């Protein structure tokens, strides 16, 4: 694609694929945003795509993180951090980076089952017949220290202010339950990305970044 924005400062949008997918699955979004003047970036999450060895790499890494605590911890991605730092220091772009997840709220309010079901091998390795909130809390503290405490949304979301914030979600998504957060959700949609969400996100980026 010809770079008609060569001498302009442009905003950057960083896309991260879903669990079990890879950066190539986002090609259609990258091309769409690039055609509208954005610097579009996609990366493989840890243990996915080119950073994974086989289809079980992600689950194997979760179990390894629980057993040996050897993944930095698991949730942190220093490759992406270094890449974004390079982007910020070498190119004339603005990079909005927002991460929101209420892990402690989910544990305290018994809304953790859907997420736990998606990574069952980690919890199964504990050898317990019943998984309860204390087990879930123990696993989070081991594989992602701070995720359910000082890195959780009650502490990270306020840090976004006064910058604009957009949250898109399916109204029926059990992995990202809605109580405790007020926003517009798409009715009847579970844990998936829809065309309406893509449109709303695109309109929001255009409003605040272009």
Whole-angstrom distance, CA of residue 15 vs CA of residue 197: 14
Q: Which letter does DSSP use for residue 26 in this model? A: G
Question: What's the rounded Cα separation, in Å, for the pair 144 and 76?
Answer: 8
Question: pTM of the prediction?
Answer: 0.48
Q: Locate the domains of the chain by residue range.
A: 11-97, 102-162, 166-205
Identify the residue with better confidence: 24 or 153. Answer: 24
- Residues 138-165: tens digit of each pLDDT: 777 777 777 777 777 767 777 777 777 7
What is the C-alpha separation between 208 and 65, in angstroms, rounded? 38
Most confident of 33-37, 78-82, 94-98: 33-37
- The more confidently predicted of residues 142 and 189 is 189
Using CA atoms, how far apart are residues 11 and 126, in angstroms rounded to an integer?
Answer: 45
**Of 12-21, 31-40, 72-81, 181-190, which one has max mean pLDDT?**
31-40
Q: Which residues pair with 12 in a beta bridge?
A: 39
CA angle 194, 96, 84 (to 5 degrees): 110
Q: Which residue has the higher pLDDT, 72 or 144?
A: 144
Per DSSP, 23 falls in state G
Q: 60 phi and psi, to 5 degrees? A: -60, -40
- DSSP per-residue letters across 78-91: HHHHHHHHHHHHHS
> Exposure pattern of 169-182 as b/e (b: 16+ CB <10 Å)?
bbeebbbbbeeeee
Q: Residue 76's CB: how many other CB atoms inside 10 A? A: 16
**For residues 166 and 157, what is the distance between their CA atoms, to the nearest angstrom?**
11
Q: What's the confidence (pLDDT) of residue 100?
A: 37
């Amino acid at each position: 694609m010809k770079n008609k924005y060569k001498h302009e400062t442009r905003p950057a949008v960083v896309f991260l694929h879903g669990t079990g997918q890879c950066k190539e699955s986002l090609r259609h979004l990258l091309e769409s945003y690039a055609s509208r003047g954005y610097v579009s970036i996609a990366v493989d999450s840890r243990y996915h795509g080119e950073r994974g060895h086989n289809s079980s790499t992600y689950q194997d890494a979760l179990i390894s993180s629980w057993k040996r605590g050897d993944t930095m911890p698991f949730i942190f991605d220093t490759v992406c951090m270094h890449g974004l730092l390079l982007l910020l220091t070498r190119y004339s772009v603005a990079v909005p980076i927002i991460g929101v997840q209420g892990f402690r709220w989910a544990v305290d309010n018994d809304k953790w089952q859907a997420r736990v079901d998606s990574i069952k091998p980690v919890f199964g390795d504990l050898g317990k017949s019943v998984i309860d909130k204390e087990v879930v809390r123990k696993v989070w503290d081991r594989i992602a220290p701070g995720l359910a405490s000082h890195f959780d949304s009650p502490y990270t979301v306020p840090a976004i202010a006064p910058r604009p914030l957009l949250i898109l979600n399916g109204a029926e998504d059990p992995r990202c339950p809605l109580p405790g957060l007020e926003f517009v959700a798409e009715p009847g949609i579970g844990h998936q990305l829809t065309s309406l969400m893509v449109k709303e996100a695109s309109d929001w980026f255009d409003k605040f970044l272009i």
